Amino acid sequence: MTAFADRVEHVSISGIRKVFEAAGEDAINLGLGQPDFPTPAHARRGAIEAIESGRADAYTSNKGTPQLREAISAKYDRDYGLEIDPADVIATSGGSEALHLALEAHVNPGEEVIFPDPGFVSYDALTHIADGTPKPVGLRDDLTLDPATVEDAITDETAAFIVNSPANPTGAVQSEADMREFARIADEHDVLCISDEVYEHIVFEGEHHSPLKFAETDNVIVVSACSKTYSMTGWRLGWVVGSNRRIERMLRVHQYGQACASAPAQFAAEAALTGPQEPVREMVDTFEERRDLVLDGLTDAGLEVPTPEGAFYAMPKVPDGWCEEVLERGVVVVPGDAFGANGAGYARLSYATGTEELKEALEIMAEATRAVR
Ligand code: PLP
CATH number at residue 329: 3.90.1150.10
* Rounded mean pLDDT, 136-161: 98
255 and 364 assigned to the same domain: no
Do 291 and 355 share a domain, yes or no?
yes
Let me know whether 266 and 152 are in one domain: yes
Q: How many residues does the chain have?
A: 373
- Do 306 and 317 sit in the same domain of this protein? yes
d(CA 216, CA 60): 33
pLDDT score for 49: 98
- C-alpha–C-alpha distance, residues 110 and 352, integer Å: 37
- pLDDT for position 29: 94
Residue 110 counted as domain residue: yes
Whether 50 is covered by a domain: the verdict is: yes
The reply to whether 57 and 136 lie within a common domain is: yes
**Residue 248's domain is classified under what CATH number?**
3.40.640.10
CA-closest residue to ligand 1 atom 8: 33
Going by CA atoms, what residue is nearest to atom 5 of ligand 1?
Answer: 168
Q: How far apart are CA 340 and CA 155, in angstroms?
A: 21
Burial of 37 (0-12, 13-18, 19+ CB in 10 A): middle
- 206 CA to centre of ligand 1 in angstroms: 22
User: Is 308 among the domain residues?
Assistant: yes
- DSSP track, 112-180: EEEEESS--THHHHHHHHTT-EEEEE---TTSPPPHHHHHHH--TTEEEEEEESS-TTT-----HHHHH
207 and 170 share a domain?
A: yes
Separation CA 10–CA 269 (nearest Å): 34
- Answer whether residue 19 is part of any domain: yes
- Asked if residue 235 is part of any domain, the answer here is yes
The answer on 55 and 23 residing in a single domain is no
113 and 134 Cβ atoms separated by less than 8 Å = yes
Domain that holds residue 121: 41-274
**Is there a single domain that holds both residue 193 and residue 311?**
no
- pLDDT of 46 reads 98
| Strand order across the 192-196 sheet | 89-92, 238-241, 220-225, 192-196, 158-164, 112-116, 133-137
Q: What percent of the chain has pLDDT over 90?
A: 92
Q: Whose CA is nearest to atom 10 of ligand 1?
A: 95
Give the residue among 243, 205, 234 at the shortest CA–CA distance from 87: 243
Structural domain count, the chain: 2
Residues 269 and 309 in one domain: no
**Ligand 1: which of 227, 233, 339 to mutate, judged by most atoms within 8 Å of the beta carbon?**
227
| Residue ending a domain, choose from 231, 247, 274 | 274
The closest of 290, 357, 373 to 325, measured between CA atoms, is: 373
Q: Is residue 176 part of a domain?
A: yes
In terms of domains, do 229 and 142 share one?
Answer: yes
Pocket test for ligand 1, best of 99, 120, 236 (most atoms within 8 A of CB): 120
Distance of alpha carbon 11 from alpha carbon 26, whole angstroms: 31
- Asked if this assembly's ipTM is beyond 0.95, the reply is yes
Which domain-ending residue is among 224, 257, 274? 274
Do 259 and 340 reside in the same domain of the chain? no
User: Within this chain, do residues 12 and 58 fall inside the same structural domain, yes or no?
Assistant: no
Query: Residue 212 — very low, low, confident or very high, per pLDDT cuts 50/70/90?
Result: very high
Q: Which of 274, 289, 315 is the endpoint of a domain?
A: 274
What is the per-residue pLDDT across 72-96, written as a single tens digit (0 to 9) for each? 999 999 999 999 999 999 999 999 9
Atom number of ligand 1 nearest to Cα 233 = 14
The answer to whether position 1 is within a domain reads no
**Which is nearest to 164 in space by CA: 232, 216, 106, 113?**
113
Residue list, ligand 1 pocket, CB within 6 Å: 33, 94-96, 120, 164, 168, 196, 198, 225, 227, 233, 238
Q: What is the CA radius of gyration of the chain?
A: 20
Give pLDDT tens digits for 325-363: 999 999 999 999 999 999 999 999 999 999 999 999 999
Handedness of CA 280, 282, 287, 292 (dihedral sign): positive
